[in-house]
Structure 1
Amino acid sequence: MAWFSLVLAGLFEMFGVAMINKLHKDRNWKSLALLVLGFGASFIFLSHAMETLPMGTAYAVWTGIGASGGAILGMLLYGESKDWKRIVFIAMVLGAAIGLKIVS
């Protein structure tokens, strides 16, 4: 259950990052509320995961999901570069997160 909570935390982190971009473009209360909701839910699920998982592992996986997911969202939704080198490094971040899961 802790790993499920950690993945949810990472997904909400991705949502929060997307809402930062939306807030930057729209500057309205709805975007701000969604940003706060996304990061708030992310921290709640991260906190739940850290009751069981080691802090270092949980934090590394959480940031890995958020960072790589944010980069992928940028490529898919906001026209950021889809250069193969970016994809390789995103895969490396995700691979490191999976590796931490395997050894934990």
Structure 2
Amino acid sequence: MAWISLIFAGLCEVFGVVMINKLHKDRNWLSLVLLILGFGASFLFLAYAMKSLPMGTAYSIWTGIGASGGTILGMLLYGESKDWKRLVFIAMVLFAAIGLKLVS
């Protein structure tokens, strides 16, 4: 259950990052509330996951999901560069997270 919680934490972090971008564009209360809810849920799920997972592993995977997810959504939704080098580094982040799981 901790791993599922950790994945939800990462996805909520990605949602929060998207809401930061939306808040910069729209400047409305809904974007602000969704941003706070996204990051709040992210921290709650992360805290729950860290009850049974090592801190270093949980934090690294949470950060990896957030960084990779934010980058991928930036490419898909906001026209950021889709250069193959960026994809290689995203893959490296994901493989590092998987490696941490394997050695934990």
Measured against the shorter chain, the TM-score band is: over 0.9
> How far apart are 1:49 and its partner, in Å?
0.2
In structure 2, the partner of 1:86 is 86
What letter is aligned with 2:18?
A
Q: % of aligned pairs identical?
A: 81
- Structure 1 distance, partners of 2:98, 2:22, is 30
> How far apart are 1:5 and its partner, in Å?
0.4
The runs of at least 4 aligned residues of structure 1 exceeding 6 Å deviation read none
Unaligned 5+ segments in structure 1 are: none
> How far apart are 1:101 and its partner, in Å?
1.2
CA deviation digits over 1:1-38, x for unaligned, max 9? 10110000000000000000000100000000000000
SS at match of 2:79: coil
SS at match of 2:22: helix
Q: TM-score, normalised by structure 2?
A: 0.99
- Structure 2 distance, partners of 1:56, 1:3, is 14
Give the alignment of 1:90-101 within 5 angstroms.
Answer: 90-101=90-101
What letter is aligned with 1:56?
G
The total of aligned residue pairs comes to 104
In structure 2, the partner of 1:47 is 47
CA deviation digits over 1:38-91, x for unaligned, max 9? 000000000000000000110000000000100000000000000000000000
- Structure 2 distance, partners of 1:24, 1:82, is 23
Unaligned 5+ segments in structure 2 are: none
> How far apart are 1:103 and its partner, in Å?
1.4
Q: TM-score, normalised by structure 1?
A: 0.99
- Structure 1 distance, partners of 2:99, 2:79, is 30
What letter is aligned with 2:23?
L
